[in-house]
Amino acid sequence: MPAPPVTEPSDDSSSTDAGAPQRRSRRKEARPGELLDAALTLFVERGFAATRVEEVAAMAGVSKGTLFLYFPSKEELFKAVVRENIAGRFTEWNEEFERFSGDSAELVRYCMHSWWERIGTTPASGITKLVMSEAGMFPEIAAFYQREVIEPGHDLIRRILQRGVDRGDFRPLPMEYAVYSLIAPMIFLLMWKHSVAPCCPATAQIDPVGFIDAQVDLLLTGMLAAPGRPNV
């Protein structure tokens, strides 16, 4: 009598219908993304130190062991969150810069508004506050963020400003410090959103879009009554 055929064990032994293994397979493929989403939520809500990998796994609906199959440590999980939500988007942003055909003022305005829409309005907006508040306790996290986010971010802004200088739209600028003139307002918005804003009454809230418009106007025209004229 021939031996019965050998079958591979199902990934979901409780399912007997033909479609079950397929659903389980999709579930496996979705796990890294679900883990990153859960990790982002908890990192922003609790900070790096207070977030436990068990809680991330539970929120994603998997075991801690499954989490470690994808991310061998909490630090690597955090790095993956940053790459997924911010650092991994610099290729896209640099390509947009290369394709942009408007004038330099339009480019500055577009970049600040676009950044707020894509990062500032999302849960990823809390990553900056996390890094700034916990950098002293976790210097390796701060060094990673410096390398993967701050340095490429500075480089892109420097290229934006240099484009304006080269085209004659902007006067010669001290680039080392001019970069921060675009960064500082955005960091303020992030810190406000994830610290003071939840405690403020509606009448004291800041409209991010209106704030960005005001900052762009100040950056492009200054505060002098007659822009371009030196103080006397």
Looking at the domain covering 86-221, what would its CATH class be? mainly alpha
pLDDT of residue 31: 86
- Separation of alpha carbons 79 and 127, rounded Å: 11
Q: Please tell me if the domain spanning 20-73 has the same topology as the one spanning 86-221.
A: no
- Separation of alpha carbons 24 and 62, rounded Å: 13
- pLDDT one-digit tens code per residue, 103-156: 999 999 999 999 999 999 999 999 999 999 999 999 999 999 999 999 999 999
pLDDT of residue 148: 98
pLDDT of residue 63: 92
Architecture of domain 20-73: Orthogonal Bundle (1.10)
- Separation of alpha carbons 121 and 37, rounded Å: 15
Other CB atoms closer than 10 Å to residue 77's CB: what's the count? 23
pLDDT of residue 226: 66
Q: Which residues contact 230 (CB under 8 A, 6 or more apart)?
A: none
pLDDT of residue 5: 46
Query: What separation in angstroms does the CA of 171 have from each of 73, 97, 130, 163, 217?
Result: 48, 20, 36, 11, 16
Residue segments in the chain with a per-residue pLDDT below the cut of 50: 1-26, 231-232
Q: What are the extents of the domains in the chain?
A: 20-73, 86-221
Residue 77 and residue 139 in contact, taking contact as beta carbons nearer than 8 Å:
no
pLDDT of residue 203: 86
- Separation of alpha carbons 46 and 55, rounded Å: 11
